[in-house]
Structure 1
Amino acid sequence: MRSLRRGGPDFDSNAKFLMVFVAVLAAIVAGKLVYLQVFEASNLSKQAEAMRTNTVTIQAKRGTIYDRNGNVLAMSQDCTTIYCNPNEVQAGSIEEAAKILAEDTGGDESDFLSILTQDTTFAYLKRKVDNSVADQVKEDLAKANISGVYYLSDVRRVYPYGSVGSQVLGIVGTDGDGLTGLELYYNDILKGTDGEMIFETGSGGTPIAGETAQTKDAKDGTDIVISLDIDIQKVAEETITQGVKDYSADSGSVMVTDPTTGEILAACSTPMFDVTDTSTIEDGATSLKLVSSSFEPGSIFKLLTMAIGIDNGLITPDSTFDVPAKVQVGSDWVGDDDNRSYEMNMSVREILRRSSNAGTALVAQQVIGADTFASGIEKFGIGSKTGIDFPGEVAGIVKTREHYDNASLGAMSFGQSLAIPLVQMVKAVDSIADDGTLTTPHFLVKKGGETVEWKSAGTSVSKETADQVTDMMRTVVQEGTATAAQVDGYDVAGKTGTGEQAGETGSYIENSYVSSLIGFANADDPKVLVYVGLNGTPYLATSSAAPLFSTIMSAALSDLGVEPTSGTSS
């Protein structure tokens, strides 16, 4: 009988295979360990650290916003955020803790109960409360021997003048970033750099409130001074709000500037909102229609048409024309508001005084011409963004010369067949007030204590032209369509505008106008320019925008200490 032998060819083969497999596996494991320990060590360490920690942002204090007179319009105030570790709150103390929190912070007891009973190690109880309120909570919880509630230093935005200027200032979100208005436009300047607090976390990755935390301090933002005068702003807001009601308008807008610098002293459009309570904001309330919406400017545009004609040596204020009752503009016939049926001999001054559509169209079509007109309105900046430091500016819809049709020149000459944000008219008429010098409408005056320079945007017309147009604007206020715009004792230069509004079909809506008035005072040495516009009103400018203009202009002149030129109205 043969004895059994261990091994053999099959055994040897299997053993060798097993040895190779083990060796390869060992090499793979060793390689993986080398890779993890050498190449991935840093990343793995970071991942492990991230699993053990959680970061809470500490908001920086945003820079303070001041008006031109040093009044604080928006500032960041120290406050406290209250949070808890529900697992540390004793079961028998939860209801009492909720009651104390509700009584001290003004919240709802049931809301605090639901937070305090959450299955987590970190939960916010109340964010951004007054420090005095937080101190009271801390004292009352301590008296009740309740633990598990903690406090984090925080900041919030406050507005000493309440809702006044809300539209211009804008909204700051809960994350500390500006969302609208100047808070958005200058967010990078105002925001600063947030800090952070790093908490140890539990097995679920949630921060363990009350454990040792590492804190990186926040760096505060930069203060800015803006051109608003809060007293003029208040009058502008109140006046246009009441005006929209009194004259059955869809909305209204106001802008007040210093025409020699372009600084905006007041600006608003309806509807407005209250930045101290942003729970309900109407559509469009956060934007300035003067900047973000385009309208047909109407007869205030006649100022630019006549300025172009004078500046090119084609007309003077005393040039006269036989103006028929109606003038053909493309396929339409254009007449005046007085519905006269006869021809009149009018000077350019009289055309502006009466605000004659027929006279303006005649001068534009027969004397100025399309090339000169197109070049002239381009010099005024019509159809281009003004560069105003406010979000949402649009350029408007203005035909370039190559796209003019038979009606373009005549219609555009008196403010139809083009749509622009009315800040463009403010910039253009600012230049007439300032001897033809174009300035950029703007809010920012200083940042971090340093004055911000706004360079001239060029020249629209000569000083001689600007003076002649100004003198005709005086006549409009003294004897023409803008008599209701007079301010007792002051020399006011102005022009009314009543622009028809086009409907969705493209045709004009009956008895729906953009009624406006733009003007400045004193005419010889302007310190204030005011634009007032009512959108979608059935009232002509002479009986609606003009008296609103007078109210706002009077308040601005008085507030700025501008001396009257006489003891009676001009």
Structure 2
Amino acid sequence: MVETSINDKIRKKLKRRAIAISFVMAVLVIAVISRISYIQIVKADWLVEQAAFVWNKNSVLSPERGMILDRNKARLAYNAKAYTIIAHPRLIEDHVNTARKLAPVINMSEQRVYELITRDAYQVELGPGGRKISEELLNKVQELELVGISSIDETVRFYPNSAFASHIIGFNNAQEDGVTGIELLYQNELKGQTGKISYITDGRRREIPAGVKSYEPAQNGSDIVLTIDQNIQHFVERALDNAIEIYNPKNVTAIVADPQTGEILALANRPHYNLNYITMEDSKKIYQNLAISQFEPGSTFKIITLAAAIEENLVSLDDRVVDNGYINVPGGTIRTWNRIGFGEISILEAFERSSNVAFVKMGLNELGQERLFDYINRFGFGSQTGIELPNEMKGNIFSNRRLYPIEVATTSFGQGIAVTPLQQIQAVSAIANGGNLLKPTIIKEVSRKEGDKEIVIKQHQPTIVDTVISKNTAEIMKEAMESVVSNGSGQRARIEGYRIAGKTGTAQKVGPDGRYIDNKHIVSFIGFAPVENPRLIIYVAVDEPNATDSYGSTVTAPIFKEIMQDSLHYLGIKATENREQAINRNLVDVELYKGKYVAETLNQIDKKSLNVKLIGNGNYIVNQSVPAGEQVPEGTTLYLLTGGSDGNINPAANLVPDFHGMSKSEVFELLFLLEMDFLVEGNGYVINQSQEAGQMYDNSEPIHILFSSYSKPVLNQSLDE
């Protein structure tokens, strides 16, 4: 009986428990069903979106930036492989030791590396030192075998020739956007267009095979083919480096162009900068492209005045003009550079000797303001040329108003106005090509690759802006400019066997007070060759050369010659006459000048088309570099040693001359005349001398003179990686 009672109690307890469990289960089932119903009905759209987010992935496809190439398709800028060092802070065991080992390799401070690798992050980029590094540097990092340090693959803009053509090419910032030069101006063409890809992944976000839903490929950037010839650019860069070494100027600029097409074949400045290692803290002045910046042209501008006067039938090269050393015009007195003038000379001689007085008469009295400035504007001055380079200046020509006579007068010989080197190249090219003002260009073509095919998007064609002078005037101007090189101030630009046309320029710089500074000049030379069929035109300007004789004739003409000679040989343009023919064209008899009065001698020599260089400041000729009775070509420089009537040399004649830029024959002539002991080394032109120019000659030891022989290496084409 008792046992039955116990069993009943157990059964009742189990029943209650079963009911409770059933209730709980029912509640749970109802809750699950309710939740499922809520998720499937209420949250259905949200779930589909979340699933799509997990399954469907979109990735941006980055295009490859286009290359910058020279006219022969040599690479000047392209994207190369690079690597960025990254750290995984949570995996690094010894942060202090890791920072100590890694910092010197990636050129960062140990403290900065430590700060980066101790951050609370999964991954940290170690920049700037570890950003976009070379494979060589990556190998050095990997050799450290540091736990938690790895790398990711990237690309970096690479300039295979470093500072080469830096003011043309320009450079990019860290975001691959152009900052200067072609990289900036052609940013849209170079960067290309991004693409995208959509694909399906599994729950672990792994791509499912054949799961691509859509694909829009990236369109790589276009290639920019420049008109620059890498080899001619190399000749220019080398010549400017030599000029920096010899003259230590403030800056130098040079342009080489084809006067028949307007194509720029080379353009360079000093100072310049290494495109692979840009320091943004550097002065912005280093990025200034001097070739399209403005400054006073000086006597090279006389080319425009003379061309205008000839075109208007106001003068001929045989007309006579008197230069007594100065001319008074309303507003001031203008002097010829030598202060004493040249007496009665022809217009051609005035051009050869760069007579300011003659050109004031031509510009102010003959042409007048209206016609002079009409030609100045037609030749392209006062307006941008439109070349494909950023920040081109337009120059500073007087505004359209009635000018004072002094303003017209100074403009006629290139003073008081500002122009750019490129404008001068454009203007003088019109003389070289027969009268057509061409739009200069630095872009040969824009192209892109589609598979194995190359599609040319844009191609340069010569563009005639205006016909500024007749062919007849152009031929007369060629004759005049050739005579400057053969007989006048441009003789140091002569190249054996070639007909060279040119004009020198020496412009005083203006000080802060607005006055011209006597000892600060910008010297220049512009010329083209061969005269019979001009293929090259070159402009060179040197700002504040450190030289005893700072003139276009002494400083820039030899630089022009070096670039022109190398370029003519490279292009295969052969000389038209040999040395013997050149020497025998026009020979002059040298007379005995020893013992004569200096002024009398200068008048005699002036009639013989010889150049004179006086040594010392005596009143009588004590000795001469070429003996009496010898014959020399017209334009030969004759050195005359001066002193007293007793035959003793003037003390100033014992000063050491500035031999820089002279040929070996010129140096020998001068040293023998001065009876100075010397030792020579090398061939070519003088680049260094042991006794400083302008100092008293020390006869206790010989003057050691170093010559440099300029070879003509040609750069190799860039190799593919």
User: What interval of TM-score do these two structures reach, taking the shorter chain for normalisation?
Assistant: 0.7 to 0.9
1:191 aligned residue: 191
Assess, with a 3 A threshold, how the Cα gap between structure 1 residues 194 and 138 changes in structure 2: closer, same or farther. Answer: farther
TM-score, reference length from structure 2: 0.64
Q: Tell me by how many angstroms 1:371 deviates.
A: 1.2
CA distance in 2, matches of 1:330, 1:186: 50
Assess, with a 3 A threshold, how the Cα gap between structure 1 residues 57 and 392 changes in structure 2: closer, same or farther. Answer: farther
1:78 aligned residue: 81
Q: Tell me by how many angstroms 1:67 deviates.
A: 0.9
1:12 aligned residue: none
Q: Tell me by how many angstroms 1:71 deviates.
A: 1.3
1:374–1:401 CA contact under 8 A, matched in 2: no
CA distance in 2, matches of 1:195, 1:150: 28
Assess, with a 3 A threshold, how the Cα gap between structure 1 residues 96 and 257 changes in structure 2: closer, same or farther. Answer: same
- Structure 2, unaligned stretches of length 5 or more? 1-41, 199-203, 448-454, 584-721
1:521 has 2:529 as partner: yes
Give the AA of the match of 2:160: P
2:326–2:339 CA contact under 8 A, matched in 1: no
Q: How do 1:484-503 and structure 2 match up within 5 A?
A: 484-503=492-511
Assess, with a 3 A threshold, how the Cα gap between structure 1 residues 509 and 340 changes in structure 2: closer, same or farther. Answer: same
1:162 aligned residue: 162
Q: How do 1:456-475 and structure 2 match up within 5 A?
A: 456-475=464-483
Q: Tell me by how many angstroms 1:319 deviates.
A: 2.3
Q: Identify the range of structure 1 (157-166 vs 370-379) with the bigger mean alpha-carbon deviation.
A: 157-166
1:547 has 2:558 as partner: yes
CA distance in 2, matches of 1:69, 1:167: 19
1:79–1:153 CA contact under 8 A, matched in 2: yes
Assess, with a 3 A threshold, how the Cα gap between structure 1 residues 212 and 304 changes in structure 2: closer, same or farther. Answer: farther
Assess, with a 3 A threshold, how the Cα gap between structure 1 residues 347 and 91 changes in structure 2: closer, same or farther. Answer: closer
Give the AA of the match of 2:73: G
1:226–1:444 CA contact under 8 A, matched in 2: yes
1:453 aligned residue: 461
1:128 aligned residue: 132
Give the AA of the match of 2:487: E
1:167–1:285 CA contact under 8 A, matched in 2: no
Residues 308-367 of structure 1, C-alpha deviations (whole Å, 9 max, x = no match): 0111122222222234432223322222223226x7222221110111000111112221
Q: How do 1:50-449 and structure 2 match up within 5 A?
A: 60-86=63-89, 89-92=90-93, 94=95, 111-125=112-126, 126-130=130-134, 146=147, 151-194=151-194, 218-279=218-279, 281-291=282-292, 293-340=293-340, 344-448=343-447
Secondary structure of the structure 1 residue equivalent to 2:305: helix
CA distance in 2, matches of 1:152, 1:313: 72
Assess, with a 3 A threshold, how the Cα gap between structure 1 residues 195 and 97 changes in structure 2: closer, same or farther. Answer: farther
CA distance in 2, matches of 1:384, 1:427: 12
Assess, with a 3 A threshold, how the Cα gap between structure 1 residues 465 and 212 changes in structure 2: closer, same or farther. Answer: farther
Residues 165-221 of structure 1, C-alpha deviations (whole Å, 9 max, x = no match): 1222111111001101111111111122356999xxxxxxxxxxx998999975421
1:534 has 2:530 as partner: no
Residues 124-179 of structure 1, C-alpha deviations (whole Å, 9 max, x = no match): 133213457658867986xx7x56x6654421011222221122211111100110
CA distance in 1, matches of 2:533, 2:560: 19
Give the AA of the match of 2:534: P
Secondary structure of the structure 2 residue equivalent to 1:127: coil
1:474–1:494 CA contact under 8 A, matched in 2: yes
CA distance in 2, matches of 1:554, 1:68: 21
Give the AA of the match of 1:264: I
Assess, with a 3 A threshold, how the Cα gap between structure 1 residues 111 and 389 changes in structure 2: closer, same or farther. Answer: same
Q: Tell me by how many angstroms 1:493 deviates.
A: 0.2
Q: Tell me by how many angstroms 1:244 deviates.
A: 3.8
Match of 1:508 among 509, 516, 530: 516
1:203 aligned residue: none
CA distance in 2, matches of 1:91, 1:253: 53
Assess, with a 3 A threshold, how the Cα gap between structure 1 residues 319 and 172 changes in structure 2: closer, same or farther. Answer: same
2:572 aligned residue: 561
CA distance in 2, matches of 1:511, 1:56: 64
CA distance in 2, matches of 1:468, 1:318: 11
CA distance in 2, matches of 1:375, 1:333: 25
Q: Identify the range of structure 1 (476-485 vs 245-254) with the bigger mean alpha-carbon deviation.
A: 245-254
The structure with the larger Rg is: 2
Secondary structure of the structure 2 residue equivalent to 1:231: helix
2:70–2:229 CA contact under 8 A, matched in 1: yes
CA distance in 2, matches of 1:253, 1:329: 34
Assess, with a 3 A threshold, how the Cα gap between structure 1 residues 103 and 477 changes in structure 2: closer, same or farther. Answer: closer
2:526–2:537 CA contact under 8 A, matched in 1: yes
- Structure 1, unaligned stretches of length 5 or more? 1-36, 50-54, 199-209
Residues 418-469 of structure 1, C-alpha deviations (whole Å, 9 max, x = no match): 1122211111001111111111222110111522334221222111111110
Q: Which has the higher contact order (CA 8 A, sep 6+)?
A: 1
Residues 51-89 of structure 1, C-alpha deviations (whole Å, 9 max, x = no match): xxxx99876422111111221111111323343453xx3
Give the AA of the match of 2:336: D
1:515–1:545 CA contact under 8 A, matched in 2: yes
1:20 aligned residue: none
Secondary structure of the structure 1 residue equivalent to 2:271: coil
Percent identity, aligned pairs only, is 28
